Structure 1
C-alpha cells in the first residue's frame, strides 16, 4: 500500500508499506481521506522537534475492508470515521472496532470525526448555558466549529474575533451576532459596549498564539470562563495570572487524551452532522491527492484567502 512518511523538515515521501494485520477486535479500513490538522504543522515545518521518519495523520475516514474474528457491529463496505493517532495518510489503517463510527450518508470527505470531537468536547466541557454571551477568538476551522456548537447550545450572543477579513465574513455567514477585526477595532471596547461593561460569560481561545492570552482577562466577566481550545505548541506562553486570579476565572483546558472521551465526541459529532444541525461543507475547502501532501501542508501554513481546512484524498475511495 502507499503511505506518506514525513522524512524531514517540509518533506513527505510516498513509500510502499505492508497492509497492516488485523487483530480479532479490529477492522481494516481503506482510507478515503485524512484531514490536515494544524497541530501537525509544527511537525512538518520542524518547529516541534519531530523525530524522523514519522507517519502523521489522525483525521481519517474510509470504508471497512475486512473484519477481525470478534467484530460484530460493522460490515464490509460500511463508511466510517475512525480514531487513529498515526498513519492516516496511507491507503489502509487497522483500528479497533470501538474506534470506528458509521457516518451514514455523510460524504467521507466531510466526515472528519476527530476534529469535530475536539470541538464537541470543548464546548461540552465549557458548559455553555442558555443565554450565555460568548466570545470565540479565532475564526479558522476549529473556531468555526466551536462557534456553530456554541450557538446550538443556546448562547444569546456569539462574538467572533479574528485578523482576517475572509474569516470574519465566514463567521458572519455562519451566524455570528458580531464579528471583530482585532487589527481595526479595540476588542476590549467592543465587548464592553456589547455586554454593558461586564464582559462575556465565556471566552474561547482558538488561535494557539500568545496575543489573545494577554487580553482575554479584559473581555471576560468576573467568575466567567476562559476556555483554551487553541493548541499551544512552540515556546512557553505568558499569562496575566495575577489578573486571572483576582477575577476568579474558571480556566478550562479543552484538550483531551482519554480515548473514551474522544470516541464519545466523534459519535456525538456524527449525529450532529447526520441530522444537519452541524455542517462541514463550507469548512473543508481545499483537497489534495496523496502525492501532493506537502502542498496541503504548505497551504495550511500560507492560509490563502478562502482557506479553512485541507483534506488529503487517498485512492479511489477518496472520490466518494
Structure 2
C-alpha cells in the first residue's frame, strides 16, 4: 500500500510498504479521508527534527476492510471514524476497535472524529451554560466547530471575532449574534456593548496566537472563563498575569492527552454527527489526492480566501 512519509521540509515521499493487518481487538480500515491538522504544520514547514522520518496523519475516516479476532459489533463495509496517532496518510490503517466510531451516512471526508473530539471536549470543559454570553476569537475550522457545539448549549450571545471577511461571513451563517472584524472594530468594546458592560461569561481562544490570547483578558468578565483551544506553537506566550489574577479568571486548557478523555469527546462528536444533530456541511473546503499532499499542507499554511479545512482523500470502496 502507499503511505506518505515526511523526510525533509515541505516534501512528502509516497512509499510502498506492506499493508497492516487487523490484529487481535483491531479493525483494518481502508482510508477514505485524512484531515490536515494545524498541529502538524510546523513539522511540515521545518522538516522532521533530527532528520528522522515522520508519518503524520491522525484525523481518519474510512470503511472497515477486515475485523480482527475478539472484535464484536463491527462488520466489513461499515463506515467509521477512527483515532490514530500517526500513519493516517495511508491507504490502510489498523486500529483498536475501541478507537472506532460509526460515521453515519454523511460524506466520509466530513466525518473527522478527532477534531470533533477536541471541540466537544473544549465546550464541555468550559461548561457553557444556558444564557451565557460567549466570545469566540478565531473563526477557522476549530472555531467553527466550537461555535456549532456552543450553539447546542443555548447561549444568549455568541460574538465571533476574526480578521478575515469570509470567515466572519461563515460565522454569521452559523448563527453568531454578532461578528467583529478586528481590523476595523475593537472586540472588547463590542463585547461590553452587547453584554451591558459586563463582559463575556466565557471566551474561547481558537487561533493559537499571542494577540488573541492577550485579548481574552479584555473580553471576559470578572470570575469568567478563558478557554484556550488554539494550538500554541513557536515562541513562549506572555500574559498580563497580575490583571488575570485580579479578574479571578478560570483558565481552561482545552487540550487533552488522556486517551479516555479523547475517546469520550470522539464518542460525543460522532454521535451528534451520525444522528444529524450536528452538520459538517461546508466545513471541508479543500480536498486533495494523496499525490498532492504537499499542496494540502501548503493550502493550510497560506489559507486562501474561503479556506476552512483541507483533507487528503482516497477513492471510497
Do they superpose with TM above 0.5? yes
Name the residue aligned to 1:168.
168
May I ask how many residue pairs the two structures share in their alignment? 317
Q: How does 1:109-120 map to 2 (within 5 A)?
A: 109-120=109-120
- Cα distance, 1:235 vs structure 2: 1.0
Higher alpha-carbon deviation: 19-28 or 72-81: 19-28
Name the residue aligned to 1:132.
132
Alpha-carbon deviations, 1:194-240, whole Å to 9, x = none?
11111100000000010012221111000000000000011111111
Partner secondary structure for residue 266 of structure 1: helix
- Closer, same or farther in 2 for the Cα pair 1:14/1:133, shift >3 Å? same
Q: How does 1:1-320 map to 2 (within 5 A)?
A: 1-46=1-46, 49=49, 51-314=51-314, 316-317=315-316
Higher alpha-carbon deviation: 40-49 or 187-196: 40-49
CA distance in 2, matches of 1:81, 1:42: 25
CA distance in 2, matches of 1:151, 1:48: 39
Partner secondary structure for residue 129 of structure 1: coil
- Cα distance, 1:50 vs structure 2: 6.9
CA RMSD of aligned residues (A): 1.2
Kept after mapping to 1: 8 A contact 2:6/2:48? no
Identify unmatched segments of 5+ residues in structure 2: none
Kept after mapping to 1: 8 A contact 2:128/2:150? yes
CA distance in 1, matches of 2:204, 2:221: 13
CA distance in 1, matches of 2:224, 2:208: 20
CA distance in 2, matches of 1:264, 1:164: 33
CA distance in 2, matches of 1:12, 1:85: 18
Partner secondary structure for residue 239 of structure 2: coil
- Cα distance, 1:47 vs structure 2: 7.5
CA distance in 1, matches of 2:63, 2:234: 36
Kept after mapping to 2: 8 A contact 1:43/1:50? no
CA distance in 1, matches of 2:234, 2:43: 11
TM-score (norm 2): 0.98
Q: Which runs of 4+ in 1 moved over 6 A?
A: none
- Cα distance, 1:48 vs structure 2: 8.0
Partner secondary structure for residue 108 of structure 2: coil
CA distance in 2, matches of 1:39, 1:281: 23
Kept after mapping to 1: 8 A contact 2:6/2:47? no
Kept after mapping to 2: 8 A contact 1:48/1:233? no
TM-score (norm 1): 0.97
Identify unmatched segments of 5+ residues in structure 1: none
CA distance in 2, matches of 1:92, 1:158: 40
CA distance in 2, matches of 1:98, 1:69: 13
Kept after mapping to 2: 8 A contact 1:42/1:48? no
CA distance in 2, matches of 1:276, 1:67: 27
